[in-house]
Amino acid sequence: MRILIVDDEPATHDSYRRCFAPTGPDDALAAMASELFGEDAPAPDAVPEFELVHHNQGLDAVAEVERALAEGRPFAVAFIDVRMPPGIDGRETARRIRALDAHVNLCIVTGYSDFSPLEIARVAGPADKLFYLAKPFEVAEVQQTARALGDRWRVDRELAAARATLADQVLRLEEQSFELAANESRALHIATHDSLTEAPNRLFFTRALADRAREPGLFATAMIDLDRFKIVNDTLGHLAGDALIREVCAILSRAAPDGALVARLGGDEFGVLFDTPGETAAVMACDRMVAACSTTHIIYGASVQGAASCGLVAVDGGAHDPVDVLRRADLALNDAKRAGRGVVRLFDEAMDEGIRFRKRIEGGLAQAIDKRELSLAFQPIVERDELEIAGFEALLRWNTAEYGPISPAVFIPIAEESNLIHELGDWVLEHALEQVKGWPGQYVSINFSPRQFRRHNFVGHVVECAQRAGVEPGRVQIEITETAIFDDAERAAETLYKLRQMGFRIALDDFGTGYSSLYNIRKFALDALKIDRSFIDGMGRERESAAIVHSIIHLARALGLGVVAEGVETAAQVQALRMAGASHLQGYYLSRPVTPDVARRLADARFIGAETEAATGTVG
């Protein structure tokens, strides 16, 4: 530790040298300490080693400080006399040193000063780095002052270095946060917009429709499909077809009512969502859009006669299922095409034979458990590298005497709407827990619907079922969708936290199709993300789908979450997902859903491979 001494008297310099001269142990003091404290006597403090640099004049001292800083060997403390004729005085010396080195501790040492401490502090402050000693000084005074100020200088430097390191880390975290936010924004835009037209896509449209359906007031949903579009592709090529799609999208955006949302739903199909004062006004608005499309387009020098058909449904918000609204608009569109194309059809109940079928399904579903028509199938979830089976997803199946097998895509939404979902969910939970007990260590993944998740005392119910079955919580994975937790995020976060505390695994299902965001992932206690099969299916054909899959996997890995890729159906997908970093795979390529007996055999085998291909009990 370096100390600068500035004084014009040689005798004073000698005094400083004696103050800092090395001294041996004080035997007398050591004996007294031993007598007082015995073996516990404290060892005497060693005087730190100081490197002294002496100068007689202030200008020389200032030059020394500047040189020390340039060499990276700054002074910790400077003892400065006030009166040093004929050069600059101590106050000016202190001011210039302070201007060069803001961290050095200054100690003004004088028997008489022409300046008050306040005057010196004004030019050589701050006050907490400016100290005073009176001449003549004692050795202990100088030693203690040097030691205290030296230690303080060292601590200040360490603190400054720590602050600089912390500031650098904060800056890097901010940069990473901005990068994540930008990646999320790009991924969200890719996920919700059509790459060909840059218009909102089906996902964006269905979200907007769901939001509008919750609000009061009449609104219209129209589905518009180009007539004879296939002829354009077949005769002029797909590039011409793409150009026509872009032109029609621009026409619809101009012809749609003010405030309308125009989206490309896929292929040559568009969706339009807008508020309307009544059904007649909605039909007139759609007539204008169809008429605008029915014009001659010049595509790559070729003349193409445009035409479009439209299906329309107008409903009051607040009481309608958005999926059902879209389905009705689609039924109306099909009726418009059957009517000869180029027309607008308003939905009416006569078009919906499916409504009566839904009612029959609901009636049969209420008796399905008593009739023993329900069963479970299990699809393996495998680790990506060795294809070791980590768990099985439990899938509900319903085989009726009247209609035969009914798809879960048909009866689950009906059960959800009619409150039968709780009865079905309890049946699934009970039988899935019964099966997992026979497996050597794999977990069972069980889907819970939004209504089940919002059930009163949901956590207590699940815990009670697991305890009654004698199954450890760590062998049960609860699958939920973002839709299930979005309506009441605070309550959902609390529910998931309690489940995680009890040891249950949590997976966010169909990730990328709901309200996906960094906020949700950070807020909710999760173990894994399940990438929706639609993105996996599109990886080989669409650059956007591959980009979304890679973004989800990288995001999950950065947050310490597992990633399960659903819908894996080809060896190429397996290889691509391995390279992308997905931790687990699930799909027909690995294994179709199997009966409980076959699931038990696969669980015992532990690995998916040639020897397990005899999964003879597969079910759809």
Residue 615 structure tokens? 């999964």
**Distance (Å) of CA 344 to CA 279, 282, 316:** 12, 10, 20
**For 411-420, how does the pLDDT look when each residue is reduced to its tens digit (9 = 90+)?**
998 888 778 8
**For 268-288, how does the pLDDT look when each residue is reduced to its tens digit (9 = 90+)?**
999 999 999 999 999 999 999
**For 467-491, how does the pLDDT look when each residue is reduced to its tens digit (9 = 90+)?**
999 999 999 999 998 777 766 677 8
Find residue 375's DSSP bridge partners.
397
Q: Which of 301, 433, 418, 310 is nearest to 367 (CA)?
A: 418
Q: Give percent of the chain with pLDDT exceeding 70.
A: 91
505 exposure class (CB count in 10 Å sphere: 0-12, 13-18, 19+): buried
Write b or e for each residue in 301-329: b if 16 or more Cβ atoms lie within 10 A of its Cβ, otherwise e. eeebebebbbbbbbbebeebebebbbebb
Decide if 90 contacts 80 (C-beta within 8 A): yes
Q: How far is CA 305 from the centre of its chain?
A: 47
> Per mean pLDDT, which of 2-11, 33-42, 476-485 is the most reliable?
2-11
Decide if 606 contacts 399 (C-beta within 8 A): no
Residue 32 structure tokens? 């007294």
- The answer, yes or no, to whether residue 205 has pLDDT greater than 90, is yes
Residues 486, 492: Cα–Cα separation, whole Å: 8
| pLDDT category of residue 329 using cuts at 50, 70 and 90 | very high
Lowest mean pLDDT segment, chosen from 262-276, 327-341, 458-472: 327-341
Decide if 536 contacts 577 (C-beta within 8 A): yes
SS3 call for 304: strand
- The answer, yes or no, to whether residue 616 has pLDDT greater than 50, is no
Q: What is the mean pLDDT of residues 50-55?
A: 93
DSSP state letters, 387-429: -BEEEEEEEEEEEETTTEEE-HHHHHHHHHHHTTHHHHHHHHH
- The DSSP 8-state label assigned to residue 199 in this structure reads S
Full set of structural domains in the chain with CATH:
2-160 (3.40.50.2300), 202-351 (3.30.70.270), 375-611 (3.20.20.450)
| pLDDT, the chain, mean | 87
pLDDT the model gives residue 506: 94
- The DSSP 8-state label assigned to residue 237 in this structure reads -
Q: What is the mean pLDDT of residues 389-409?
A: 92
- The DSSP 8-state label assigned to residue 475 in this structure reads G
pLDDT the model gives residue 617: 43
- Is the peptide bond between 450 and the residue preceding it cis, with omega within 30 degrees of 0? no
| pLDDT category of residue 610 using cuts at 50, 70 and 90 | very low
Sign of the CA dihedral 515, 521, 524, 527?
positive
pLDDT the model gives residue 615: 46
Residues 445, 436: Cα–Cα separation, whole Å: 10
- The answer, yes or no, to whether residue 118 has pLDDT greater than 60, is yes
Residues 62, 80: Cα–Cα separation, whole Å: 11
Instruction: State pTM to two decimals.
Output: 0.49
Residues 511, 445: Cα–Cα separation, whole Å: 16
Decide if 594 contacts 617 (C-beta within 8 A): yes
| pLDDT category of residue 33 using cuts at 50, 70 and 90 | low
Decide if 566 contacts 577 (C-beta within 8 A): no
Q: Which of 328, 475, 516 is nearest to 392 (CA)?
A: 475
| Axis-axis angle for helices 139-192, 10-19 (nearest 10) | 70
- The answer, yes or no, to whether residue 345 has pLDDT greater than 70, is yes
> Per mean pLDDT, which of 76-90, 167-181, 330-344, 595-609 is the most reliable?
595-609
pLDDT the model gives residue 187: 83
**Distance (Å) of CA 194 to CA 202, 212, 274, 430, 535:** 8, 21, 20, 43, 14
| pLDDT category of residue 592 using cuts at 50, 70 and 90 | very high
Residues 350, 382: Cα–Cα separation, whole Å: 47
159: number of Cβ within 10 Å: 10
Residues 327, 311: Cα–Cα separation, whole Å: 10
- The answer, yes or no, to whether residue 497 has pLDDT greater than 80, is yes
pLDDT the model gives residue 112: 67
Write b or e for each residue in 237-256: b if 16 or more Cβ atoms lie within 10 A of its Cβ, otherwise e. eeebbebbbbbbbebbbebb
- The answer, yes or no, to whether residue 242 has pLDDT greater than 80, is yes
